[in-house]
Structure 1
Amino acid sequence: MQHLRQGAPGGELTWLGPIDSAATGSGLPLAMEAVAAGFPSPADDYVEASIDLNTALIPRPTSTFLMRVEGDAMRSAGIHHGDLLVIDRSVSARPGCTVVAVHEGRFVLRHLRGDRPPWHLVASDPTIAPIVLQDSEPVIWGVVIHAVHHLLPRRRQHDAIIRNPGTAATPPGEPWEGTPPR
């Protein structure tokens, strides 16, 4: 697998390569109950089925790539440094999409805006100036279809170990494996 690393500013993405079309994940349990984001509802300890995240998140493996975000230009849109993006190059970009574009030879992550040309690439950080796309620039590399956002906080030496019944505790010290750098 090839890797392409772009540095900040503007080049905020690390290319992790294409999705292996032969890759299949094992199914993960899918709970029958949805989780309430408002007020709590009674939960059932019942697993409805299993879900394969490769199938759920990657509908077209031959045109899908993964990239890791570097920088905070899209933080207000809920896309943070270290998040993993699922990018589909077969999806047509349209205004409102979050896209990966090539600008001045670097990958940038922005919202595509405008009703007609010239289009604009807009960061969610209002202090970053929009990029105006000229007609001669074929800059849209792919459309972001999913962002995988890591929610575990970084661990500190003094953090207590909180045990989840039925699981092994993570020892104190460094962040959990896979935690993106902040």
Structure 2
Amino acid sequence: MNRIKEVLEDKGIKQTWLAEKLNKSYNMVNAYVQNRRQPSLELLYEIANILHVEARDLLDVNKAVFPNTVESDTVNIPLIGAVACGLPVFAEEHIEAQIPIATQLVKTPSDYFLLRATGDSMNTKGIDSGDLLLIKRQQTAETGDLVLALIDDEATVKEFRHNGSTVVLKPHSTNLKHQPIILTTDFKVQGVVAHVIKM
């Protein structure tokens, strides 16, 4: 969900004007304003720049993540795009944005990064496509943790289950096509989901 409609109304700006500035159709902008569609983070930042507001002012998210506090109470965490395969890349050119996160959630900021969730394999755990995942970088996990795992150069977020020599990555989905992954090949834990930011 976003707050573009509220910001436009507060500023007395018409959707037609915003559509012209974005070089997009009125129907597309109206879909964003009415929350029928959600803009990408890149577009959200562009809209924020046009409206002279902070990107977080356009987001209707948990105040514990984007608190309405002084700037010293937040720290910028890099958003890396939705990873389809391979390791998350932390080079500057691969960072989509810097997102302010409440300091109480990230005790050591350098240990954290954000990823955008894709698909519906974890929707009953409250992770929907488009949500942002705050990931704590670590290479170990406990049973029950939601982990970012790398399997054969493909990254996935699943519940980690470990029983003796068997490791299972378990989906939690209303879509029955998603089945547990029983690991028989090498895999690596890249991090653990510390927080889900609903979008």
TM-score range, shorter chain: 0.5 to 0.7
Q: In the TM superposition, what is the alpha-carbon distance from 1:5 to its structure 2 partner? A: 4.6
1:130 corresponds to which residue?
180
1:139 lines up with 2:188 in the alignment: yes
* 1:99 has 2:139 as partner: no
Deviations 1:63-82 (A, max 9, x none): 21110101111001110001
Could you say which residue in structure 1 is the equivalent of 2:161? 113
Unaligned runs of at least 5 residues, structure 1? 26-52, 151-182
In structure 2, stretches of 5+ residues that fail to align are 1-77
Structure 2 CA distance for aligned equivalents of residues 67 and 79 of structure 1: 12
Name the one with the larger helix percent: 2
Task: Provide the residue aligned with 1:65 in structure 2.
Answer: 113
Would the alpha carbon gap of residues 24 and 149 (structure 1) be closer, same or farther in structure 2, given more than 3 Å must change? Answer: closer
- TM-score, structure 2 as length reference: 0.49
Aligned-partner SS, 2:195: strand
How many residues were matched structurally? 116
- The residue correspondences of 1:1-182 to structure 2 (distance < 5 A) are 3=80, 5-7=82-84, 17=90, 53-90=101-138, 92-125=140-173, 126-134=176-184, 137-150=186-199
Change (3 A) 1:127 1:106: same
- Tell me the distance in 2 between the aligned counterparts of 1:137 and 1:5: 22
RMSD value over aligned CA atoms?
Answer: 3.4
C-alpha spacing 1:98/1:6, structure 2 compared with 1 (3 Å): same
Identity %: 26
Matched-pair contact (CA < 8 Å) for 2:81–2:116: no
CA shift for structure 1 position 113: 1.3
TM-score normalised by the chain length of structure 1: 0.53
CA contact (8 A) 2:152 2:186 kept: no
Q: Which runs of structure 1 show a deviation greater than 4 angstroms over 4 or more consecutive aligned residues?
A: 1-5, 13-18
Q: Identify if the C-alpha distance between structure 1 residues 14 and 68 changes in structure 2 by more than 3 Å, giving closer, same or farther.
A: farther
Shift of 1:2: 8.6
Native 8 Å contact 2:144 2:159 kept in 1: yes
